[in-house]
Chain A
Amino acid sequence: MIRTYGPVVLLIIVLALLWEYGVQWFDVPHYIIPTLSSVATALWENRGSLTHHFGVTLGEALIGLALSVVTGCALAIWMHMSKLAQRLVYPLLVASQTIPVIALSPILVMWFGYEMGSKIAIAVLFCFFPIAVGANDGFKAVNRDILELMQTMGGSKIAIFFKLYVPSALPSFFSGLKVAATFSVAGATIGEWLGAESGLGVFSKRASGMMRADSVFAAVILLSVMGILLFLFVKWLESVLVKPNKI
C-alpha cells in the first residue's frame, strides 16, 4: 500500500506546500491564484451548497455515462453484426468526434432545454465514442481459432456471441469506459456552464463572476475528485467482471 501509493501521496504533499507557500512568497493576488488554505476554507464554508451541487453534477454525469454505455454498445453490436453498418457508421462515428462539442452545445441546449436534458446530452456526446470504439475493437480482437472451434462444436450464433464475443470484448470495452468515466464529468460541467440552475459548473461560473477564485478552485477540486471516483468505480467493476484474459 505504502509502496504503491506512497510516492504519489508524497508528490501531492510537496505540490500542495509549493502552492501554499509559493503563492505567499511571490505575493500572487488572491483572484489569480488563491492560497491552498483559502481554497480549503472555501470548501468548508460552502460545504452545504457544494454537497448539493456535487450531487447534481454527479447525477448528470452518471446518467450520461449510463446512456453512453447503452448507445455505445448498441452501435458496436450493430457494427459487429453488419459489415455495411461497419462501413457506414464507423466513419461517421469518427467524424462526430471532430465536431467541437462546445460549439454545438448552444444548439443542444435549444433542443434539450436548460434542465438536466442538455447536460446529459453533452455528457453522452463526450462519452459514447470511447465506449463504442472500445467495444468495437474488443469484438474484433476475438480469437479466430476459438471461434472456429465453437463452430465445429455446433455452437449457435447467439451462443457464440455471448460466450465468446462478449467476454473477449470486455477488456477493451472497460478501457473505453474508464476514459468515458472521466469525460462524463467534463461533459456535464460544460453543459452547466451554458446555463443551469445548479451543479458544480454553475457554482464555479458564479464564483468566477464574483472574482472568488478560491471558490472556483474548490469546485474544480471537487470535479476532479468526482472524476477520480467514477474512474475507480469503473476499475472496481472491471475487476469484478473481467476474469484473467491473457495466457
Chain B
Amino acid sequence: MNISHPAAADKGDSAGATGTKAPPALLEVDGMTFGYNVERTLLDNVSFRIQPGEFVSLLAPSGSGKSTIFRLIAGLLEPQSGSVTIRSGRPGKGGKNSRLGQVGYMPQKDCLMPWRSVLDNAVLGMELQGVPRRQAIEKVREMMPSFGLAGTEKKYPHELSGGMRQRVSFLRSVVCGTEIMLLDEPFSALDAMTRVDMQEWLLSVWEQYRSSILFITHDVDEALLLSDRVLVATESPIRELHEIVIDMPRPRSYGDTVGEIFAARKKKVLELLHFGQTSSSNANRSSAPVRTQPSREEGIG
C-alpha cells in the first residue's frame, strides 16, 4: 500500500508514506488495520494522507467498511494496528481518545436533534466545546445566509426538507472550526435532483471556506465532480486505495460532468471498479490521449 499525495509526487518522492520532504499532512493514516471480529477484517493495512485545503473522496461499494474508516479517523474506534495522525493544532480530549473533538464529522443521516430548532442544532458543536452561547449564535447567524438557511433559525428539523436538513448538519460541522471534515455519504438519501443541487452548493461553500474534506461516497459522478483526488477501493477487505487525480479547474459546476477530463477520469474509475468491461477496449484507446498523468495512479499492484 503506497499512495503518494500530489505534493510528494511532484517532488518525485515515490514512497509517499515515508515522504520526509513533503509538508506534514493534516491527516495521516498509516497502515491502518481493523475488523469488528477476528474472522472478518474490514481494513487491511490502509494508508493515505490529506493535505490542508484538499478535497478528497473515498469511493467504495456500499457495505465495504467506508464508514468504519471515518469512525476510526474521528476517534470513535481505535485501529488494531497502524496509526491515525491528525495535525490540527487543537487539543484532543486526552488519553487514547485524543482524536475526539479534532475532526468535523458529518454522518450519513443528518442527525439533527428533533427537539432543537435549526439555530440550536447548529450551535451544538460549539456548545460542547464550551464556546459562550451568545458568541456561538452570532457565528451561526453570520453563516446561515451563505448556507441557504436564512430565515429558518426558529424552525424545527421536521419542518425542513431533506436537503435543508443536510445543510444544517453541514453548517453544524463547519462552525466547529475543525481543519478537517469527514463527510459520510451526506447526499445519499436525497433524490437525484436535490443531490445535484446540494453537490453544486457544497462546491460553492467549500470553495469559500477551503477546509480539508474527506468525502465518502459510492456515487462515481459525485466523487469526480467534487474532489481534487479520488481514492478508489476495489476490494473487500479494503487494502489498496487507487488514487486518481481530478485535474479539472475550479470553480466547478455540474456542467463539468459532461466535459472531456471528467469522462476520461470516470472511465478510469469504472475500469478500476470493473464496470463497463464490454466496451473497455475501444474506450481505452479513444481516451488514451486525455490521460495526462498516468504516473499518478500508483496504487495498482
Residues of A within 8 A of B (CB): 143, 145-146, 148-156, 159, 163-164, 167, 242-247
Q: Which among A143, A151, A159 is the interface contact of B100 at CB below 8 angstroms?
A: A151
Q: Which among A148, A242, A244 is the interface contact of B107 at CB below 8 angstroms?
A: A148
Asked if B250 is an interface residue, CB under 8 A from chain A, the answer is no
Asked if B214 is an interface residue, CB under 8 A from chain A, the answer is no
User: B108 — which chain A residues lie within 8 A by C-beta?
Assistant: 145
Interface string of B114-141 (1 = CB under 8 A from A): 1110000000110111000000000000
- Which 5 pairs of residues, A with B, have the shortest CB-CB distance? A154-B101, A243-B115, A155-B128, A152-B105, A152-B74
Further 4 A-B residue pairs, CB within 8 A, beyond A153-B101, A153-B129, A154-B129: A146-B111, A167-B113, A243-B114, A245-B114
Given A152-B76, A152-B105, A153-B176, check contact A242 B115 (CB 8 Å).
Answer: yes
Asked if B233 is an interface residue, CB under 8 A from chain A, the answer is no
Asked if B109 is an interface residue, CB under 8 A from chain A, the answer is yes
Residues of B within 8 A of A (CB): 71, 74-76, 92-93, 100-103, 105, 107-109, 111-116, 124-125, 127-129, 156-158, 176
- Contact present for B107 and A153 (CB under 8 Å): no
Q: Which among B93, B101, B113, B176 is the interface contact of A146 at CB below 8 angstroms?
A: B113
User: A167 — which chain B residues lie within 8 A by C-beta?
Assistant: 113, 115
Given A151-B100, A152-B74, A152-B76, check contact A145 B107 (CB 8 Å).
Answer: yes
Given A244-B156, A247-B157, A247-B158, check contact A152 B111 (CB 8 Å).
Answer: no
- Contact present for A153 and B71 (CB under 8 Å): no
Q: Which among B101, B112, B156, B157 is the interface contact of A152 at CB below 8 angstroms?
A: B101
Q: Which among A143, A152, A159, A164 is the interface contact of B103 at CB below 8 angstroms?
A: A152
User: B125 — which chain A residues lie within 8 A by C-beta?
Assistant: 153
Given A151-B76, A152-B75, A154-B93, check contact A243 B100 (CB 8 Å).
Answer: no
14 A-B pairs within 8 Å (CB atoms) are namely A148-B74, A151-B76, A152-B75, A152-B100, A152-B101, A153-B101, A153-B124, A154-B102, A163-B128, A167-B115, A243-B115, A244-B115, A244-B156, A245-B115
Given A154-B129, A243-B116, check contact A149 B156 (CB 8 Å).
Answer: no
In the complex the two chains form, what is the Cα distance from A143 to B101 in whole Å?
A: 19
In the complex the two chains form, what is the Cα distance from A143 to B111 in whole Å?
A: 8
In the complex the two chains form, what is the Cα distance from A164 to B158 in whole Å?
A: 18
Q: Which among A153, A163, A164, A247 is the interface contact of B112 at CB below 8 angstroms?
A: A247
- Contact present for A243 and B156 (CB under 8 Å): yes
* Chain B proximity of A232: nearest CB distance (Å): 23
Chain B minimum-CB-distance residue to A243: B115
* Chain A proximity of B240: nearest CB distance (Å): 27
Q: Which among B92, B102, B105, B157 is the interface contact of A149 at CB below 8 angstroms?
A: B105
In the complex the two chains form, what is the Cα distance from A155 to B100 in whole Å?
A: 9
- Contact present for A244 and B158 (CB under 8 Å): yes
Q: Point out which of A150, A154, A164, A243 has the most chain B C-beta atoms below 10 A from its C-beta.
A: A154
Q: Point out which of B76, B108, B124 has the most chain A C-beta atoms below 10 A from its C-beta.
A: B124
User: B109 — which chain A residues lie within 8 A by C-beta?
Assistant: 145
* Chain A proximity of B224: nearest CB distance (Å): 27
In the complex the two chains form, what is the Cα distance from A159 to B107 in whole Å?
A: 20
In the complex the two chains form, what is the Cα distance from A159 to B113 in whole Å?
A: 14
* Chain B proximity of A172: nearest CB distance (Å): 13
In the complex the two chains form, what is the Cα distance from A242 to B124 in whole Å?
A: 18
* Chain A proximity of B189: nearest CB distance (Å): 12
Chain B minimum-CB-distance residue to A241: B115
In the complex the two chains form, what is the Cα distance from A154 to B128 in whole Å?
A: 7
In the complex the two chains form, what is the Cα distance from A188 to B82 in whole Å?
A: 64
- Contact present for B158 and A148 (CB under 8 Å): no
- Contact present for B128 and A159 (CB under 8 Å): yes
* Chain B proximity of A152: nearest CB distance (Å): 4
User: A155 — which chain B residues lie within 8 A by C-beta?
Assistant: 128
User: A163 — which chain B residues lie within 8 A by C-beta?
Assistant: 124, 127-128
User: A153 — which chain B residues lie within 8 A by C-beta?
Assistant: 101, 105, 124-125, 128-129, 176
User: A159 — which chain B residues lie within 8 A by C-beta?
Assistant: 127-128
In the complex the two chains form, what is the Cα distance from A145 to B109 in whole Å?
A: 8
In the complex the two chains form, what is the Cα distance from A120 to B224 in whole Å?
A: 68
User: B156 — which chain A residues lie within 8 A by C-beta?
Assistant: 243-244
- Contact present for B71 and A150 (CB under 8 Å): no
- Contact present for B107 and A149 (CB under 8 Å): yes
In the complex the two chains form, what is the Cα distance from A244 to B156 in whole Å?
A: 8
Q: Point out which of A145, A150, A247 has the most chain B C-beta atoms below 10 A from its C-beta.
A: A247
User: A154 — which chain B residues lie within 8 A by C-beta?
Assistant: 92-93, 100-102, 128-129
User: B93 — which chain A residues lie within 8 A by C-beta?
Assistant: 154
Chain A minimum-CB-distance residue to B91: A154
* Chain B proximity of A161: nearest CB distance (Å): 12
In the complex the two chains form, what is the Cα distance from A242 to B114 in whole Å?
A: 11
* Chain A proximity of B35: nearest CB distance (Å): 19
User: A149 — which chain B residues lie within 8 A by C-beta?
Assistant: 105, 107, 111
